[in-house]
Amino acid sequence: MPLPAASSRTSSPTAAAAPKPAEKTHAQKLLDKLGLRRDIDLALHLPLRYEDETRITLLADARDGETVQIEAEVTHSEVSFKPRRQLRVTVNDGSDSCVLRFINFYPAHQKTLSVGARVRVRGELRGGFVSREMVHPSFKLAGGELPASLTPVYPTVAGLPQAYLRKAVPSGVARADLSETVPAEGLAQLRALFSLRESLRFLHQPTPDVALAALEDRSHPAWQRLKAEELLAQQLSQLEARRIRGAMRAPPLTPPVKSRNQGTLYEQLQAQLPFQLTAAQQRVGHEIDADLQKNVPMHRLLQGDVGSGKTVVAALAAARCMDAGWQCALMAPTEILAEQHFRKLLSWLEPMGIQTAWLTGSQKAKERREALALIASGEAGLVVGTHAVIQDKVVFKNLALTIIDEQHRFGVAQRLALRSKMTADGQEPHLLMMTATPIPRTLAMSYYADLDVSTIDELPPGRTPIVTKVISDSRRDEVVERIRGQLAEGRQVYWVCPLIEESEAVDLTNATETHESLSAALPGTQVGLLHSRMPVAEKKAVMVLFNAGQIGVLVSTTVIEVGVDVPNASLMVIEHAERFGLSQLHQLRGRVGRGAAASACVLLYSTGDGPRLGETARARLKAMAETQDGFEIARRDLEIRGPGEFLGARQSGAPLLRFADLATDTELLAWARALAPLMLDRHADLAQRHILRWLGGKADYLKA
């Protein structure tokens, strides 16, 4: 059904006056909130679930716990006040009777459900004290034919009723251009039983004989067609982005001719490192080095488990850039992580005479002016900082390599802003993104298909295994006793809490309370407190004391998730571990096990008065206890939670896959990956129509 048009305003009758655009109706504004702006958007707005209103069930044949639709006469209706105000209505369908109970109701409810009225009621039948009942069922006056298809229940927003969507969506399906965009050879390989139009019509109005399980688990052929098309749109847009990038130009960072007395910065850095690179570090270093020497912008993701040594690989890439006479910028999401990189890189590069600039939002004006001058003049070959690096006042002389750590924390606009800092005409900087959250293979094949991926798949020698224990918080005293033992051996401890202060919404022990209780329980031990709301100078002071070993126990929020490296810390306690994501737990655990001492991670879960530990939380804690392999952790996280956490802000401006499931739809993904290059090469018009249909203008995020 066409959306209602806004009333037009009267304009002055002059020839030059342009008509004002019609204002959007209230319904159109609500549809906009759902992203439903085009007919195809309405057509692709699939139901959350279905209600079966196609049949009437006799009460005598219905089982307790079953959701049924009955047609019955109202025999009694009253408002009672015990134990609270409620409307109780008794209905009888000739085979049995039941009570309809409403806690929230209006006079219109009472009018429709008056004695003698014949009504059609749908709800879950429950056993009651006196008779069976339905609580807050849907109802209407009986009469008219039963629908021929299941009734869809759509995702919606407040103010946009299901009745409106049930008319608007089929109307969108009828108007939308659903002509075939998958070429014949692709359809033959897919062996599709339904066209796109047939699939959408069926899924919006399925016949009652279809197995409900096939609709709910999306295994029905109509669902398979939609998931295949969605994956194909994603693969086409990713491959197109890769090809567009391949046509761009970047400065080739070729090594200079060697001096007789001194090697290149790259060689000097390798020679003075206090450790040997692992085979994996050398391999990915060669992959990055080969990219940097091309005149096409590198677009590479460097992934490696916690502690695998990504920073030194980034440092070697920066040295290659500076060897060629260009500047390099490294951006990290938090000041703690940025400073960790800065100190490490400074210790490696300063002895070789490399000038490094430091930029953060908390800098004093004088220090900032000096850093900006070094960057603009080109004296600073390497710039390290937080989001401050991409601010307008930061001007590089000749930026050629941008490195982004924990890339999933940055949005598209931020990555594009960093790339725009290159001033060379018509050229793009090389881009290296790093993540300590390994990307599962299916995710790399889909959301990261436009990237080249390098993987550090081994840890440096000397990293000690971490024993992980899952313990109820009722055994807190035992954990505190374990801390005393670690402190007696001269070790240090992290205690991580999910919140800073009291919240009415979530009853969690906060960092401030934990700091106080541990200070009281551990007399003679300095207990530090660290959280994101502290002033930067105070945070730095705490970390300096913890690094120096003067603080024995550091109570912190997840601000220490990445970038903190204290080899003497051997015990990590995570409070309310059931509230954390799996990869976040793995990152936090990676803060220990960095020295020679045996290390442990204790996952404290709550057994308070709230709900019992859910299946998802239980699966996360079980995975943590069973493996330390970041790639296995990532695989399980994808199974448990889907792709959201891995992608972070990468998908700003574009939805995640709405229909396909990367854990189960691997065959469809393989089909889409194989068909995408063929379509771009041989059926470019179909490819563009397909991308536009499924993504609209949202494919632009791939530029970053």
Q: Say how far apart CA 373 and CA 263 lie, in whole Å.
A: 29
Cβ neighbours of 391 (radius 10 Å): 13
pLDDT in tens, 131-145: 899 999 999 999 888
pTM for the model stands at 0.72
Instruction: Check pLDDT > 50 for residue 339.
Output: yes
Q: What one-letter code names the amino acid at 149?
A: S
Average pLDDT of the chain to the nearest whole number = 85
Pick the CATH number of 466-627 from 3.90.79.10, 3.40.50.300, 3.40.1000.10, 3.40.50.720: 3.40.50.300
Instruction: Check pLDDT > 90 for residue 202.
Output: yes
- Top mean pLDDT of 211-215, 502-506, 515-519 is at 515-519
pLDDT band at 15 (very low <50, low <70, confident <90, very high): very low
Contact present, 314 and 302 (Cβ < 8 Å): yes
DSSP secondary structure letters along 375-433: HHHT--SEEEESGGGGSTT---SSEEEEEESSGGGS-HHHHHHHHTT--STTB--EEEE
Instruction: Check pLDDT > 80 for residue 249.
Output: yes
Q: Say how far apart CA 141 and CA 72 lie, in whole Å.
A: 10
What pLDDT sits at residue 274? 83
What pLDDT sits at residue 10? 35
What pLDDT sits at residue 612? 64
Question: Closest by alpha carbon to 328, among 389, 264, 245?
Answer: 389
- CATH 3.40.50.300 domain position(s) in the chain: 265-456, 466-627
Question: Which is higher by pLDDT, 291 or 533?
Answer: 291
Burial track 137-154 (b if 16+ CB lie within 10 A, e otherwise): bebeeeeeeeeebbbbeb
What pLDDT sits at residue 663? 76
Q: Say how far apart CA 143 and CA 68 lie, in whole Å.
A: 17
Cβ neighbours of 600 (radius 10 Å): 19
What pLDDT sits at residue 4? 41
Consecutive H or E run containing 31: helix 26-33
What pLDDT sits at residue 654? 45
What pLDDT sits at residue 3? 45
What pLDDT sits at residue 364? 87
Q: Across residues 239-268, what is the average pLDDT?
A: 81
| Residue 198 structure tokens | 């047939």
What pLDDT sits at residue 655? 46
What pLDDT sits at residue 651? 47
Contact present, 526 and 554 (Cβ < 8 Å): no
Burial track 426-461 (b if 16+ CB lie within 10 A, e otherwise): eebbbbbbbbbbbbbebbbbbbbbbbebbbbbebbe
Q: Across residues 662-676, what is the average pLDDT?
A: 91
- CATH 2.40.50.140 domain position(s) in the chain: 55-146
Q: What percent of the chain has pLDDT over 90?
A: 47
Which letter does DSSP use for residue 126 in this model?
B
What pLDDT sits at residue 561? 55
- The CATH code of domain 55-146 reads 2.40.50.140
pLDDT band at 583 (very low <50, low <70, confident <90, very high): confident
Instruction: Check pLDDT > 50 for residue 506.
Output: no
Instruction: Check pLDDT > 80 for residue 6.
Output: no
What pLDDT sits at residue 257? 64
Q: Say how far apart CA 400 and CA 9 lie, in whole Å.
A: 54
- The domain made up of 265-456 is a member of CATH 3.40.50.300: yes
